[in-house]
Chain A
Amino acid sequence: MRDTILEYIKNEYIDEDEADEIVLDENTPLISSGIVDSFSMVSLKRFLEKKYGISIPDDQATPEAFNTVASIMALVSKYVKK
């Protein structure tokens, strides 16, 4: 799951000319660092829902929950189990 989400974020949010400057791992802040903003976050939510066959309620898709790949994995796991 980790690599799948990291790969998506890299392709979806990081410009080719910035790819060398940004170190991306599961603890890299995404929202608070500006890599992903709240405006473009919706496509990440939709990707997760489609990929893992889940539905994340809007009130759970907060900037805090989406701030790192680690926190995203925790959120997804919560709904995959159900």
Chain B
Amino acid sequence: MAYPSVAQEAYQAELNAIREKGIYKEERYIHSPQAASISVEFPPGQAPRRVVNLCSNNYLGLSSHPEVVAAAHRGLDERGYGMSSVRFICGTQDLHRQLEHALTGFLGTEDTILFPSCMDANGGVFEAVLSDQDVMIADRLVHASIVDGMRLCKAMQDTYKHADMKHLEQKLQDHQDKRIRLIVTDGVFSMDGDLAPLDEIVALAEKYHAMVFVDDSHGSGFMGRTGRGVHEHFNVMGKIDILTTTLGKALGGASGGCVSGRKEIVELCRQKARPYLFSNAVPPPIAAAAIKVLEILSHSTERRDRLEENQKFWRQAVPEAGFVIKEGASPIVPIMLFNAKLSQDIARDLFQEGVYVIGFFFPVVAAGQARIRTQMSADHDIPMLKDALQAFKKVGAKYGILGLDKKGIIEKYGM
């Protein structure tokens, strides 16, 4: 039998265990384009409901922007649907090189190479440029794709406490015997919404002769005065040796990612990075639309400015309404509930009130740190956010948590 019962039973048992732990992930079906307000079918079979979307990475509202959609159409008409090839065989069009040049200019780096996703960029870059004589020293809260990429690399792995510069310095001292030291961090941390202190990290890198890797997937397009990313925010553009980012969030939201940075590193990725060598080229409509996105963002900061206004409003209004948030400077605003079940219950009730959010809990975040992660978009407006806030207040009052601090919520609901 091709599918032995021993395998089937083992898989069923594992799925049941996931359900019993309460961490089974269910998809919600969206019956509209990605936007600040979407039509969602949930639970499956129910009539779709119009809700305010506070959980997408569509930070700049470009996922369904008419100019971006039109550019994708042009790409489709003029260069076709797919490449049926990896880049180095017969998968590189003028569009790909044009997009790589545009990203290099936008990010302020030396060169750029596209990957099918940022997950692939992070999966391939470490192995391509480091050896067993080197060390990678990563912030403990880096994205899972970085953890996987580091595991595929022969260089020694080490970690430092989240954003703890003293601990990082100690690790850099410990590893002075290595050929290359690479500090590894996210730009914006996706679960907490806080920023890596890149000015301090670059200073430490210079002091201890280390290189710096930043995944700026949650920062590219809007962090910094002209939206170039967290490196612009901290005034260290040109000093990041390896910058990875995604086209799947603020920069159009479809798919695709890149490694951008020192030209030799990019060149080595083109020769050695396995997800680049063994996976298809980014499809022409996506490349064409991404070029348009960078054009829009280079001409005007209007969208990132609006996003900043929304973020300021939300970061002030939510605590005033009586909730506990994680402080930060990004459009990711976690509303802390600490208890896993409470985060699930409140997210479910908010959906009934017309607000789409998701509760996150261990192991996605640390135990006892359950939360609802809200994310701002340039497509939200203040009246929309005020309505969402009313829903939060109503549901918060139902559970009696308004005005309670961490201790109060834990006393009432436990960790």
> With A15-B162, A15-B164, A34-B362 in contact, is A39–B147 under 8 Å at CB?
yes
Residue of A nearest to B144 (CB): A39
Q: Which residue of A lies closest to B368 (CB)?
A: A34
For B37, list chain A residues within 8 Å (CB).
Answer: none
Interface residues of B in 123-141 (CB under 8 A from A): 138, 140
Instruction: Let me know if B158 is at the binding interface, CB within 8 A.
Output: yes
Residues from chain A with a CB closer than 8 A to the CB of B363 are 34
Q: Is B23 an interface residue (CB 8 A)?
A: no
Residues of B within 8 A of A37 (CB): 140
Is A27 located at the chain interface by the 8 A CB criterion?
Answer: no
Q: Is the CB of A42 within 8 A of B161?
A: no
Name B166's closest neighbour in chain A (CB-CB): A16
B183: min CB distance to chain A, Å = 15
Interface SS of chain A: loop
- Judged by a CB distance under 8 angstroms, whether B98 is at the interface is no
A60 at the interface (CB under 8 A from B): no
Give chain B nearest CB distance to A22 CB in angstroms: 10
| A81 CB to nearest chain B CB (Å) | 27
Residues in chain B near residue A34, CB distance under 8 A: 362-363, 366-367
Count contacts between A and B, CB distance < 8 Å.
22
Interface residues of A in 1-35 (CB under 8 A from B): 13, 15, 33-34
Interface size class, chain A: under 10
Instruction: Assess whether A71 is interfacial by the CB under 8 Å rule.
Output: no
Residues of chain B within 8 A (CB-CB) of A39 are 138, 140, 147, 157, 159
Rounded to whole angstroms, the CA-CA distance of A5 and B363 in the bound complex is 25
Chain A residues within 8 Å of B367, by CB: 33-34
Residue pair B158, A42 in contact (C-beta under 8 Å): yes
- In the complex, the chain A residue whose C-beta lies closest to that of B142 is A39
Which residues on the A side are within 8 Å of B140 (C-beta)?
Answer: 37, 39-40
Q: Which residues of B contact A15 (CB under 8 A)?
A: 161-162, 164
B162 contacts across to A, CB distance below 8 A: 15
In the complex, chain B residues 145-171 whose Cβ is within 8 Å of any chain A Cβ: 147, 157-159, 161-162, 164
3 A-B pairs closest in CB distance: A40-B159, A34-B367, A34-B366
Q: A residues near B, CB below 8 A? A: 13, 15, 33-34, 37, 39-40, 42-43
Q: A15-B162, A39-B147 are in contact. List 15 more A-B contacts (CB 8 A).
A: A13-B161, A33-B367, A34-B363, A34-B366, A34-B367, A37-B140, A39-B138, A39-B140, A39-B157, A39-B159, A40-B140, A40-B159, A42-B159, A43-B158, A43-B159
17 A–B contacts from the bound complex (CB under 8 Å): A13-B161, A15-B161, A15-B162, A33-B367, A34-B362, A34-B363, A34-B366, A34-B367, A39-B138, A39-B140, A39-B147, A39-B157, A39-B159, A40-B159, A42-B157, A42-B158, A42-B159
